[in-house]
Amino acid sequence: MDSPFGLLAELTYRCPLACPYCSNPLNMAGYRDELALDEWRRVLAEAGDLGVLQCHLSGGEPLLRRDLVEIAAAAHDLGLYTNLVTSAVGLSRPRAERLRAAGLDHVQISIQADEAAVSDRIAGIPSFRRKIEAMRLVKELGWPLTMNVVLHRHNIDRVADVLTLAEEVGADRLELANTQYYGWAWRNRAALLPSRAQLDAAEVVVRAARERLRDRMDVIYVISDYYSRYPKPCMGGWASRQLTVTPNGDVLPCPAAQSLPLPRASVREDSLARIWAESPVMNAFRGTDWMPEPCRSCFRREVDFGGCRCQAFLLTGDAARTDPVCHLSPDHHLVAGAVEAANTGSRAGDPALVPRPHRARRPDRIPRG
């Protein structure tokens, strides 16, 4: 068993935005009892002892934590590379300067489209202008900036304009991530899944931009696995190199695993080291012994690790089955059916997007300093 490399610290699931593709759990009320600053300090120290090198401060919206600067400072002081994953709503200049002084290494800002009306409609609140201002501030303060755009049926046709926007704000890295269907995105799958023609057109644009921008900006394109022959090697294998700590202290091998019927493990009840090594949740699908056919005898079993356990569970009700994205899976018709539906019928008949309903507080109540 290797040491974990990356820790996803989900500081809160509260968020001022209402993105319909959010991967946060549907039962967010179960996560209101958030870890306190001292608990996060202990978790970060234990993560460092375990070998973690990178810490992603995420959510929900991590800027809603009044102690975010202190949490970032604790991670930095332990020698971890720290990345803030944010919508940037609430990234005021004083707050940004305090985060810079605390040693935060990198900022990733999500934006919903290249244009205010579309972006704000998807985000559920007027936020585009503040995001652009925050991106400029991040560059001004000397941070490396990743701009993240989740792609789906309602914005993928704008990918060329998204690339232009990323250039304009001086992003060092642009992450174009096709939606992964967990949480609210799973609920909205029929409305979010793009057509094959949309994906093909976007890929041409991205390929050309990568070539043109190769000395200036990294362009990462996360493909739509529903359209792939093979599944993604989710998390690099279950409990292999990554771990997630949720706002209430649950420890998971990936952010979506809270939907699986597995025993809970919490940093409030046990050490991170023992959870990583011994807990049933971490060991449920580690390695290859758990695999059914066709994975068990497949030449790719240590390439994609049978795909995504959370996706297998959502699609089949059994997390131990081959990811139905794989064309060799006996359940592949479940993915093929969704893809077929996304490629037939008229756009006018598209199902409506259901926004994530959890607006914990008004954006003007986000801590400023």
Phi and psi dihedrals of 141, rounded to 5? -85, 0
Angle at 98 between CA 93 and CA 104, to 5 degrees: 110
310 labeled part of a ligand binding site: no
Residue 310 binding target from ligand SF4, ligand FES, none, CB below 5 to 8 Å by type:
ligand FES
Q: Out of 166, 298, 310, 315, name the contact with ligand SF4 by CB under 6 A.
A: 298
In the complex with ligand SF4, which residue's Cβ is closer, 156 or 308?
308
- Determine the interface stretch with ligand SF4 among 11-19, 48-56, 154-162, 323-331 (rule: CB under 6 A): 323-331
Q: Which DSSP string corresponds to 252-288?
A: ESSTTGGGS-----BTTTS-HHHHHHH-HHHHTT-SS
Position 295 contacts ligand FES (CB under 6 A):
no
CB 268 within 8 A of CB 39: yes
Secondary structure class of 338 (helix, strand, coil) = helix
Size of the site for ligand FES (CB under 6 A): 8
CB of 332 to ligand SF4, least distance (A): 9
- Amino acid found at 241: R
Per-residue interface string for the shown chain with ligand SF4, residues 214-233, x marking contact by CB under 6 A? ----------------xx--
CB 191 within 8 A of CB 353: yes
Strand order in the sheet with 106-110: 218-222, 173-178, 145-151, 106-110, 81-86, 54-58, 6-10, 242-245, 251-252
308 labeled part of a ligand binding site: no
Q: Out of 310, 315, 353, 366, name the contact with ligand FES by CB under 6 A.
A: 310
CB of 256 to ligand FES, least distance (A): 4
Cα pseudo-dihedral 311, 316, 320, 325, rounded to 10: -50
In the complex with ligand SF4, which residue's Cβ is closer, 48 or 231?
231
In the complex with ligand FES, which residue's Cβ is closer, 22 or 165?
22
326 labeled part of a ligand binding site: no
Residue 300 binding target from ligand SF4, ligand FES, none, CB below 5 to 8 Å by type:
ligand SF4
Q: Which residues, 239 to 268, sit near ligand FES by CB under 6 A?
A: 254, 256-257
From its phi and psi, is residue 170 left (phi > 0), alpha (psi between -120 and 50) or beta?
left
Q: Out of 112, 146, 311, 322, name the contact with ligand SF4 by CB under 6 A.
A: 322
In the complex with ligand SF4, which residue's Cβ is closer, 139 or 301?
301
In the complex with ligand SF4, which residue's Cβ is closer, 59 or 307?
307
CA atoms in the 13 A half-sphere facing the CB of 106: 16
Position 309 contacts ligand FES (CB under 6 A):
yes
Q: If you count them, how many residues does the chain have?
A: 369
H helix runs in 51-110, sequence order: 68-77, 93-102
Q: Out of 11, 57, 145, 308, name the contact with ligand FES by CB under 6 A.
A: 308
Task: Give the number of other Cβ atoms within 10 Å of residue 184's Cβ.
Answer: 25
| Dihedral angle sign, alpha carbons of residues 289, 23, 143, 249 | negative
In the complex with ligand FES, which residue's Cβ is closer, 171 or 282?
282
List of residues contacting ligand FES (CB under 6 A): 234-235, 254, 256-257, 308-310
List of residues contacting ligand SF4 (CB under 6 A): 230-231, 294-295, 298, 300-301, 304, 306-307, 322-323, 326, 328
* Binding annotation: 15, 19, 22
